[in-house]
Amino acid sequence: MASVATTNISNVNFADSKISISGYAIEIWRIAAGQLSGDTAVITPLREKLICAVPSGQVNDLASTGASSVTITLGTFSTAVTSTIGQVDVMIMTRPR
């Protein structure tokens, strides 16, 4: 269990894309394939915003009051899997501070 290098985490929104749901800005982040189950990745929004939800289903440490960054714990559907996992896309919902 290790931290995912920031070089393996990238934003995949198009630069001028303005995706939103119910007024919340959406950012989509990609964690590169090759990480191990149990590794953690810290995601901080591109703009100064407060993360209010991670609706894409990954295990995370987001407080109910929101946060300026979130730690995602990578995992598999089975504890028996010990090999590397494929790329993971993470969607975060943000709002202005």
Provide the pLDDT for residue 58: 83
> Residues in the chain with pLDDT < 50?
none
CATH 2.60.40 fits 6-96, yes or no: yes
Provide the pLDDT for residue 42: 94
Q: Full-prediction pTM beyond 0.85? A: no
Q: Is residue 91 within 8 Å of 55, Cβ to Cβ?
A: yes
Task: For residue 90, give the H/E element and its range.
Answer: strand 88-96
- Secondary structure letter of residue 23 according to DSSP: T
Provide the pLDDT for residue 24: 87
Provide the pLDDT for residue 9: 93
Cβ neighbours of residue 11 closer than 8 Å, sequence gap 6 or more: 27, 28, 29, 30, 46
CB atoms within 10 A of CB 40: 16
Provide the pLDDT for residue 68: 93
Q: Is residue 93 within 8 Å of 52, Cβ to Cβ?
A: yes
